[in-house]
Structure 1
Amino acid sequence: MNESRIPVFLNADDQYTVPTYITLYSMLYNHRGDEMLDVYLLTKGDLTEKNIALLNSLAEKFPKLNFEILTVDKNYDQVSINMEHLSCATLYRLMIPRIALSVSDEPIDKCIYIDTDLIVEGDIASLYHCDVEGYYLAGVADGIRLLPYNDDYKNILGIPDVNNYINAGVLLWNLKELNQAEGLRESLEEAGFRNDFPFNDQDALNSVLYGKIKELSPKFNVMPFYFCDREKAEIERLYGRNDVAEARKDPQIVHYINFKKPWIYTTTAFAGRWWKYVRMQDRSIRREYIRPFLDAHRLPRHSVARERCITVMKEIGIYWTARRLKGKVKALRNETGAHTGDLTVTEME
């Protein structure tokens, strides 16, 4: 394997071209090493010529980029995706071990996978050079480990526990060892067809590769709930106080999980970091690509007003106090309703 090159895989469909562009731009902008970045975008072949031109323009801005768009098999098109904000493209990452065998003249022993709803704030090389010897995959712990029903969840996945369960948005693959394991590559792809996995590809990875997954520092996949003060104790229990403090202070990758994307919800934690890269773009790109994308995902007017109100409340430091007060009022109203025989707030909702 050529150590002067870093292979990076992503997957997306045409509707996600702008976030994909911002993800790649942030990664390339912050890459300070001498390594070339060999980036492979996995798609089902639905990208328009206009959007392909946008992505290809990155090579003109960043000479360390070697970019290739790959059309993958459409095997997963009929799989039910259980998260509304995702498409079948999320399953393409399961094909990486097989695809990596044919995209380069030299064997790819190791590679990175990143989602396209994130930004890379540090040098991607720091992730790539993490040691994964003896493991098939490395990633950051997922909050599922904190859920009270994780005993049921381990039964769904068919594994002894979820104590090593990771988020699939940022992955470091040890392709050399994985592809040497007989039948493992095929088992991983087959698991993508299971409709009983609530988190589809993420569950497939954690199920099939159980016991051979290494946990990385949370700074490599900082998710917005890290910054919710009311969850601070739980998050510190999951990652450790020092690692959480480091992730908050110096996040290497910020991953906007779930439906609260920064281009829709401007109050999402670290949304300003995503918008920073939008402001870096040429006026023509903002006009031809980014503005139409934002218009298509714009919130209703009343929701925009609510988002602005939340932003102001957070800036002046009263947001969480107001949330706690609202919770106490709601609890009091429910308690009063129970004594009077009236419908409680919860029942009415």
Structure 2
Amino acid sequence: MQTIPVFYTISDNYTTYAYVSIQSLIDHADPNQDYTITLLVQKISAAHKQSLEDLSTDNVHVKIFHINDEMVKPIHKTKENYLRAQFFTMSIFYRLFIPELFPQYDKAVYLDADTIICNDIANLYNTKIGENMFASCPDLSIRYMPLLQKYIKECQGILPPEKYINNGVIVFNMKAFRDKHFVDKFYYLMDKYHFDNVDPDQAYMNEICEDKIYHLPKEWDSMPNESIPEFTNPKIVHYNLFFKPWHFADVQYGHYFWDVAKKTPYYAELKQQLDDFTDEDRKKARQDLEWMAKKVDLIVNEPHTWAKVKQHESVKID
């Protein structure tokens, strides 16, 4: 029986959402398969740690892994590393180190905690991605946002912009990451250029691995997008950006989250979060999205954008 390794990276305050995501994965797990779920954290409360570990079943094993502070020490809390141009969270970078930290695996799945799994994750794991560094879906959350399309073209220098991926769902070629020394390349570029990004971890993965990324069918990363209808049969729902079902009652794909959440011990807490999130909070969330887009006009004038650097130095893995 093969073991399917699945990774999440969370901060303590994302425990409730990770719990719901893992429960959805368990709900669709094949009883004849073996799954090991590892959550990478720096700090987590004893109660939250126990809660997550207690999700384990006979064939789904949930573990907590404390990431080494030294490994992420070079990543600084500076504006270029702000997520969505709003705030700093170290946890978004943890995924970049998974291949180095777990050399026993040559392949693995990574999932953001704000996902709901609607299919056996073994089917994603078994996707054949060839010699590519990893597999992910093109980022449909920004497909219809002109300023973010500008960001990909003029700041990232990735053309066509439709090939820019979202890294909330990843099938890692772990061996390739190690063999190609991805982490060394990441440290080098970050230290030399301090690229300003609205999506720091995702930008580095897109740039360093460009042209060595396998594009998954879009249903594996189904994201709310007010410009397009819901997919009929999403395999994974990913509540990307600001529109979370615990904040917006009418968000696309919202029922997938609540159908699972109601079976968990955090249901009342999550419903309270929805009730406490005011219209003013929702207005601010939309303004935050607008600010993220507007920041593109600031980034494009930075001395070191990806697009500018690529005119004189290759940033890609060979």
Q: TM class by shorter-chain length?
A: 0.7 to 0.9
Q: Is the Cα contact below 8 Å between 2:247 and 2:277 reproduced in 1?
A: no
Amino acid at match of 2:99: P
Amino acid at match of 2:100: R
Where in structure 2 are the equivalents of 1:183-262 lying within 5 Å? 183-190=181-188, 194-225=194-225, 228=226, 230-231=227-228, 248-262=231-245
Please name the residue that 2:272 is paired with.
295
- The aligned length equals 272
Please name the residue that 1:100 is paired with.
102
For 1:82 and 1:25, how far apart are their aligned partners in 2? 26
Please name the residue that 1:64 is paired with.
59
Q: Is the Cα contact below 8 Å between 1:97 and 1:185 reproduced in 2?
A: no
Residues 1:264 and 2:244 are matched in the alignment? no
Please name the residue that 2:286 is paired with.
none
TM-score of the superposition, structure 2-length normalised? 0.77
For 1:305 and 1:185, how far apart are their aligned partners in 2? 37
Q: Is the Cα contact below 8 Å between 2:82 and 2:197 reproduced in 1?
A: no
For 1:98 and 1:177, how far apart are their aligned partners in 2? 11
Q: Is the Cα contact below 8 Å between 2:53 and 2:64 reproduced in 1?
A: no
Listed one character per residue, the Cα deviations across residues 207-263 of structure 1 (whole Å, up to 9, x for unaligned) are 1100100100011010011xx4x445xxxxxxxxxxxxxx72211100011111111
Q: 1:297 to 1:266 in 2, by over 3 A?
A: closer
Q: Is the Cα contact below 8 Å between 1:111 and 1:173 reproduced in 2?
A: yes
For 1:71 and 1:189, how far apart are their aligned partners in 2? 21
Q: 1:300 to 1:133 in 2, by over 3 A?
A: closer
For 1:24 and 1:192, how far apart are their aligned partners in 2? 32
The gaps in structure 1 that reach 5 residues or longer are 102-106, 233-246, 307-349
Tell me by how many angstroms 1:28 deviates. Answer: 1.0
For 1:273 and 1:190, how far apart are their aligned partners in 2? 41
Q: 1:198 to 1:108 in 2, by over 3 A?
A: same
* Greater share of helix: 1
Amino acid at match of 1:66: H
Q: 1:93 to 1:99 in 2, by over 3 A?
A: same
Please name the residue that 1:317 is paired with.
none
Q: 1:275 to 1:165 in 2, by over 3 A?
A: same
Q: Is the Cα contact below 8 Å between 1:4 and 1:34 reproduced in 2?
A: no
The gaps in structure 2 that reach 5 residues or longer are 284-318
Please name the residue that 1:239 is paired with.
none
Q: Is the Cα contact below 8 Å between 1:192 and 1:201 reproduced in 2?
A: no
Listed one character per residue, the Cα deviations across residues 97-141 of structure 1 (whole Å, up to 9, x for unaligned) are 21122xxxxx31111000000100111011111111120011111
Amino acid at match of 2:82: I
Q: Is the Cα contact below 8 Å between 2:247 and 2:273 reproduced in 1?
A: no
- What is the aligned-residue RMSD (CA, Å)? 2.7
Structure 1 window deviating more from structure 2 (79-88 vs 123-132): it is 79-88
* 3-state SS of 1:187 partner: helix
For the pair shown, the structure with the greater C-alpha radius of gyration is 1
Higher RCO (CA < 8 A, seq sep 6+): 2
Residues 1:176 and 2:159 are matched in the alignment? no
Tell me by how many angstroms 1:291 deviates. Answer: 3.0
For 2:201 and 2:279, how far apart are their aligned partners in 1? 35
For 2:171 and 2:51, how far apart are their aligned partners in 1? 27
For 1:67 and 1:85, how far apart are their aligned partners in 2? 29
Q: Is the Cα contact below 8 Å between 2:83 and 2:89 reproduced in 1?
A: no
Amino acid at match of 2:233: D
Alignment equivalent of 1:6, drawn from 4, 7, 11: 4
Q: Is the Cα contact below 8 Å between 2:9 and 2:112 reproduced in 1?
A: yes
* 3-state SS of 2:203 partner: helix
Alignment equivalent of 1:15, drawn from 13, 16, 23: 13
Q: Is the Cα contact below 8 Å between 1:39 and 1:68 reproduced in 2?
A: yes
Q: Is the Cα contact below 8 Å between 2:139 and 2:162 reproduced in 1?
A: no
For 1:292 and 1:152, how far apart are their aligned partners in 2? 37
Tell me by how many angstroms 1:298 deviates. Answer: 4.0
For 1:191 and 1:37, how far apart are their aligned partners in 2? 35
Tell me by how many angstroms 1:153 deviates. Answer: 2.9
